[in-house]
Amino acid sequence: MDKKANYKRYINAKVLIYLVLGLGSILMIFPFIWMLITSVKTIAETTRIPPTFWPDDIKNTAAYRSVTNSLPFFKLYLNTILMIIFRIICALVFSSTAAYALAKLNFRGKTLFFTIIITQLMLPSQIFIIPQFKMISQMGMTNTVFAMVFPGIVSAFGTFFLRQAYMGIPDDIMEAARIDGCNEFQIFYKITMPLTKTAMSALAVFTALIAYSDLMWPLIVNTNLNKLTLSAGLSTLRGQYVTNYPVLMAGSVLAMLPMIVLYLIFQKQFVEGIALTGTKA
Amino acid sequence: MNTKLKKKKQKKNLIAYIMIAPTMIGLVILNIIPFFETIRMSFYKSGSFGKWTFCGIDNYIKMFSSSGFWRSTWNTTYFVILTVPIGVFISLVLAVFLNAKIKGRTIFRAIYFLPMVVAPTAVAMVWKWMYNSEYGIINNFLRSIGISNTINWITNSKTALLACAIVAIWSAIGYDAILLLSGIQSISKSYYEAAKIDGASGIKQFFHITIPMVSPTLFFVIIMRAMTSLKMFDIIYMMIEERNPAIRSTETILMLFYKESFVNNNQGYGSAIVIWAFLIIGVVTLVQFIGQKKWVNYET
């Protein structure tokens, strides 16, 4: 009897969980669906009274044509991809070497170096922005991909995060490699670095997401529409098409498409990578 | 033997320096020098043609006597109050639900995480459209259930910041829930089994086992969320334009910083503002670190 009541309670709890998670999921997905639906509507449809939910013509690409006319999307994609790739390479290469030195080697000034990294992590990145901008403009590098990569050339977070990964590698492995005749650099490159693969891919995902969603820096260093990132480029539409929502939504769809596609393919790496960067840091 | 060992050690030392060199040089150029440079600039006035003149604490006097500055400080504080407690609570409940043994867990997890992979600019755009007072779907929905007075979500100064806070919460809960979920998953099952034998209900288990055991992760999430909210820029910048009558009640410290430094080209004043932002973030974080002793449980 008691068992039966327990079972019933268990089923009820499950139904409740599905219900809450399901309703929540609708709230999470709906804005994106609404974005898609609006992007194939005409302005007249979006301002119709009484309002209609479904578009009259699902194959209406007028808004997409307008938005690709006013924004050089091909270039925005290219700029964003290049910025992300360079930032990932920099973060992985420089942070890996520094993290290895911090975790496995002894050198004078180690504590100081580590303190600098921790301090940088605590400071809001905006505090560096004006001087960074001045450097870029003094170098005459505004409106370049380099300008967008610039603040991310080195990553204090990446160094800190990968240091944890290297600390988890037992010294015995390195000792064995040393006996086998590996030099210090080979030990790093051939033996330990491959062992931090999970952490490196997590850092890559993290770096990509931060770079992709950043708005303030690209807006500051790039004024040329052809040199903007997707985020920043999209933000310029807001003054141009104040009430033309189909065009704004078409632009948003195009801007979020590449990341969504990557997310759908590498969903597990994304979610687990982010969980790793969050909990290990 | 001794010298050989010493030589080997020196060589290792050299390798270590080579390995940290790029990061070290980068940090000096990109962060350490700029940090002090910003402090220095906050005592200077930027004139035309890149001419800087020392002006003592004028920027700070101007800042502390500006009503716009205090308004933005209040808006930022209010935004933190609106987003952090509610957002983190929803994330925690969500994490507990996502931890349940149900089918389709990964799909749910992926759905809630979705806003994280979409640029905040795009997120802000679609919400702005949904909030539209005449044609927005939210007001249309409210009208269809009989609430016919039009709410000007993002143009009324009473609701605008709340509307932005909802978007920020909506964007962040998936991310926070996933962090909390990994914290919850590391709680030993034996606690719950013991609680079950003692007859503790699910809600009791949540408050007496889950929250204390996940408190280190929870603390981390609260700290990060508070920092992110204090640094809010993109969503509000996208949703509330300069012309919007609600801008006065939604402008955050960093929006003011951006406007003064890069629109009005007043970078000395901008530096003072960003230092203020840094101080607030520092104080809030410090207070939380002191307060954590009261509730964060590090024994496992």
Closest CA to A167 of A186, A185, A192, A203: A192
The answer to whether residues A235 and B238 touch, using CB atoms and an 8 Å cutoff, is yes
ipTM value:
0.90
Torsion angle of C-alpha atoms B84, B87, B93, B99, degrees rounded to 10? -100
Q: What is the pLDDT of residues B258-282, one digit of tens each?
A: 999 999 989 999 999 999 999 999 9
Verify whether the Cβ–Cβ distance B16 to A120 is below 8 Å: no
Task: Please check whether residue B237 touches A, CB under 8 A.
Answer: yes
Verify whether the Cβ–Cβ distance B116 to A209 is below 8 Å: yes
User: Which 8-state DSSP code applies to residue A54?
Assistant: S
- Given CA atoms B52, B56, B59, B60 in this order, what sign does their dihedral have? positive
Task: Please check whether residue B261 touches A, CB under 8 A.
Answer: yes
Per-position pLDDT tens, chain A of length 281: 466 777 777 778 888 889 999 999 999 999 999 999 999 999 888 888 778 889 988 888 889 999 999 899 999 999 999 999 999 999 999 999 999 999 988 888 999 999 999 999 889 999 999 999 999 999 999 999 999 999 999 999 999 999 999 998 998 888 888 888 888 888 898 889 999 999 999 999 999 999 999 999 999 998 888 999 999 999 998 877 777 899 999 999 999 998 999 999 988 888 888 888 776 54
Convert B213-239 to b/e letters by CB count within 10 Å (16 or more is b): bbbbbbbbbbbbbbbbbbbbbbbbbbb
Exposure of B30 by Cβ count < 10 A (0-12 exposed, 13-18 middle, 19+ buried)?
buried
Chain B: residue nearest A254 by CA? B122
Task: Please check whether residue B228 touches A, CB under 8 A.
Answer: no
User: Which residue bears the tokens 């992926």?
Assistant: B110
Closest CA to B97 of B88, B86, B109, B85: B109
Half-sphere exposure of A103 (CA within 13 A, CB side): 24
Q: What is the mean pLDDT of chain A?
A: 90
Chain B: residue nearest A28 by CA? B112
The answer to whether residues B53 and B45 touch, using CB atoms and an 8 Å cutoff, is yes
CATH architecture of B58-122+159-295: Orthogonal Bundle (1.10)
Smallest Cβ–Cβ distance between A278 and the set B27, B130, B179 belongs to: B179
For residue B123, list chain A residues with Cβ-Cβ distance below 8 A: 31
Smallest Cβ–Cβ distance between A107 and the set B13, B31, B179 belongs to: B13
| Type and span of the H or E element at A180 | none
Q: Nearest CA of chain B to the CA of A101: how many Å?
A: 5
CA B170, chain centre distance (Å): 13
Chains A, B: CB pairs < 8 Å: 266
Chain B: residue nearest A233 by CA? B121
Q: Where in chain B is the domain with CATH 1.10.3720.10?
A: 58-122+159-295
CA distance B292 to B286: 10
Verify whether the Cβ–Cβ distance A14 to B102 is below 8 Å: yes
Q: Which residues between 162 and 221 in chain B have a beta carbon less than 8 angstroms from any beta carbon of chain A?
A: 170, 174-175, 178-179, 181-183, 202, 217, 220-221
Convert A78-88 to b/e letters by CB count within 10 Å (16 or more is b): ebbbebbebbb
